[in-house]
Amino acid sequence: MSERSLLVLDSDPAVHQVISQALNRDDRKIQNVYDGRDALAYLRAHPCDLVVAGQGRNGLGGLKLLRRIRSIQPDAKIIVTGEPSPEHALDAMRARAYSYFRKPLAPVPFADMVHQALQSSSSWQNDVKVVSARREWVSLEVRCKIQAAERAVHLVGELEPEMPRETWDDVATAFRELLLNAIEHGGKSDARKRVHVRLLRTSRELIVHVHDPGKGFSLEALPHSALSNPEDSPTRHVEIRAENGQRPGGFGILMARNLVDELIYNERGNEVVFIKYVTWGQ
């Protein structure tokens, strides 16, 4: 495998240390810079597989740098880092960042996202499209690709920095399972199709709506799901999934139902809404 080139911009040496420890591998070359102007000068002379854009010493932050980089290396994958800010996360994704991470960085999720970015194809730019960016009403279009689902799940986490951690873990797990179901079963993993996601935030709850492009299904007729297992064969769906060449799983709907407060499907079975009651900031 050829060596991958990474550029890391941040004014804080401690951030560079955390990132280097998380990303250091023999097949990667990491260039550290502390000033936004130095980052732009480096990019004019060197192609990069990935840029981690934080706050530079001269006031050129990740979002501004993101837009400047586009004029130098239009196809560069860029992960923006910054303060916990739903607005900044949505702005970054609208400007075609690969992802946004709040500080302090969580090393393992950050390293996983970097690995995914380096492995992704050249057609990643519009995999997660922000349609509405109001704090109370966020709408996304997610291409029917597993990598796009992972980016969307992470983005939703960046939109809820005030949500209690345990509550977010429940929301993230339920959302990921339902989104993967929509991509794999509704969209048939066809990258030409998209899943529509809406996140509605009220003073007491988070409402998540997932609408896939498929024909729908009946909850009573899902042989590949744990919901359909007969009482005397609690793992029958595992065998059916293996016979059909499907990934291990089948617990998604059952798991989501147990993690959220309400889960409702439409009549066709191609739209699902779940509600999680939240006490924000606690």
Q: How confident is the model at residue 145 (pLDDT cuts 50, 70, 90)?
A: very high
Summarize pLDDT for 184-229 with one digit per residue, the tens: 989 999 999 999 999 999 999 999 999 999 998 766 555 555 555 5
Which amino acid, residue 5? S
**Pick from 163, 148, 217, 156: which is nearest to 185 by CA?**
217
Domains present along the chain, CATH in parentheses: 1-122 (3.40.50.2300), 126-282 (3.30.565.10)
**Pick from 105, 121, 90, 129: which is nearest to 54 by CA?**
105
Predicted structure pTM score: 0.86
Which amino acid, residue 97? A
Summarize pLDDT for 27-74 with one digit per residue, the tens: 999 999 999 999 999 999 999 999 999 988 877 778 888 989 989 999
SS3 158: helix
Summarize pLDDT for 246-269 with one digit per residue, the tens: 554 456 788 899 999 999 999 999
Q: How far is CA 60 from CA 57, 72, 183, 213, 221, in A?
A: 7, 16, 38, 41, 55
